[in-house]
Amino acid sequence: MRIAVFGAGAWGTALALAFSRQHDVILWSREAHEIDDLKRDRENRRYLPGIPLPDTLALTHQIEVAAPADLHLVVTPLAGLRSTARALQVAAPNTPLLWACKGLEAGTTRLPHQIVAEELGPDAPCGVLTGPSFAAEVARGQPAAVTIAARDLEFARHWVRQLHDHRLRLYANDDLVGAEVGGAVKNVMAIAAGVSDGMGFGLNARAALITRGLAEITRLGLALGARRDTFMGLAGLGDLVLTCTGDLSRNRRVGLMLAEGRTLDDILAALGHVAEGVSTTREVAALAQRLGVEMPITQAMDDILAGRLNARDAVEQLLARDPKQE
């Protein structure tokens, strides 16, 4: 089977490596110089240094070369999903599509499946690949388990059967909204966890934050039509715990640096990678307000990232909230 992976960042490269163990994979980047570097070095030195690319992994910057495939897998930052889906609709319409982008679109609060529906049509064969997975570990062949979620459960089951292996285990789910909400909002909570850890609040505080963060994710998901049980699975609790506790989490590192008092511009420059939680926080806060969903942790992170509060004052406001029933 031929799989075309669109997006040669850390996660796109990692998935290309994982799936190339069993399939014919071509990895695409819109930047010709990035592909030239990958061809020359046979590794992604910027995002996954030290992990060799197999000779069987094809590389291209031409979308018309990559598009003829049995499966399209879009692993760009969320900001690139719409333009990539639009280009693929021209280059190879009706090809099954999975995306591994997480977040809400800036300015529209669209979830990824809504973006895809607008570009490919509401009946396009598609779904999301999401769950607790750091790119570096997947690229090295370390075990991980993720979810393929789609409105059509048989579509999800089919691609689970096609892509599953003993090192990257896949599970099918038909709660597309829940899987996407879990993947998006956990990045907001990871920033909060980084702030908490960076301020030295300890493991008890982190556990409380993860638990209350899961409650916020669930409330928003239910308001959007998701199922509660999805948030107890890989796309919910699993992804949340990993991103809030793992040192490889870019969003957690944003929170750690916010706790140091560094500016957002400085943090993003130092990071060198996209941290989807930064833009997602603003969109989640706006969506929660519009839906009347209480999300105090999200609101606090939005206030910090927007410069309305510093980290310490935001935490003090959270701690000063009235007691609640769980």
**Structural contact between residues 178 and 235, judged by C-beta atoms closer than 8 angstroms:** yes
Mean pLDDT of 90-95: 97
CB count within 10 Å of CB 93 equals 11
Task: Classify 121 in phi/psi space as left (phi over 0), alpha (psi -120 to 50) or beta.
Answer: left
**Residue 20 pLDDT level (bands cut at 50, 70, 90):** very high
Tell me the C-alpha to C-alpha distance, in Å, between residue 54 and each of 16, 49, 127, 182. 10, 14, 27, 33
CA atoms 270, 234, 225, 298: torsion sign: negative
Residues in the chain: 326
What does the pLDDT look like over 272-287, one tens digit per residue? 777 788 999 999 999 9
Asked whether the predicted pLDDT for residue 234 surpasses 80, the reply is yes
With a pLDDT cut of 70, the percent of the chain lying above it is 99
**Residue 316 pLDDT level (bands cut at 50, 70, 90):** confident
CATH 3.40.50.720 fits 2-174, yes or no: yes
Within 8 A by CB and 6+ apart from 235, the residues are: 130, 131, 147, 149, 173, 178, 179, 182, 183
CATH hierarchy code of domain 184-319: 1.10.1040.10
User: Chain-wide mean pLDDT for the chain?
Assistant: 95
**Structural contact between residues 48 and 139, judged by C-beta atoms closer than 8 angstroms:** yes
User: What pLDDT, on the 0 to 100 scale, is given for residue 271?
Assistant: 84
Catalytic residue list: 186
What does the pLDDT look like over 41-88, one tens digit per residue? 999 999 999 999 999 999 999 999 999 999 999 999 999 999 999 999
Within 8 A by CB and 6+ apart from 281, the residues are: 187, 188, 191, 298, 301, 302, 305
Within 8 A by CB and 6+ apart from 291, the residues are: 220, 223, 224
CA atoms 195, 196, 202, 208: torsion sign: negative
Within 8 A by CB and 6+ apart from 171, the residues are: 145, 146, 147, 148, 160, 233, 234
Which run of H or of E encompasses 144? strand 144-149
CB count within 10 Å of CB 90 equals 10
User: What pLDDT, on the 0 to 100 scale, is given for residue 256?
Assistant: 95
Domain boundaries, the chain: 2-174, 184-319
Mean pLDDT of 281-302: 97
Tell me the C-alpha to C-alpha distance, in Å, between residue 255 and each of 23, 182, 198, 261, 302. 38, 19, 7, 10, 12
Asked whether the predicted pLDDT for residue 318 surpasses 90, the reply is no
**Structural contact between residues 72 and 4, judged by C-beta atoms closer than 8 angstroms:** yes
Q: Quick one: tokens of 202?
A: 């300890």
Mean pLDDT of 144-148: 98
Asked whether the predicted pLDDT for residue 321 surpasses 80, the reply is no
Q: Can you tell me the distance from the alpha carbon of 241 to that of 222, in angstroms, rounded to the nearest whole number?
A: 20
**Structural contact between residues 118 and 81, judged by C-beta atoms closer than 8 angstroms:** no
User: What pLDDT, on the 0 to 100 scale, is given for residue 106?
Assistant: 93
What does the pLDDT look like over 149-184, one tens digit per residue? 999 999 999 999 999 999 999 999 999 999 999 999
Asked whether the predicted pLDDT for residue 324 surpasses 90, the reply is no
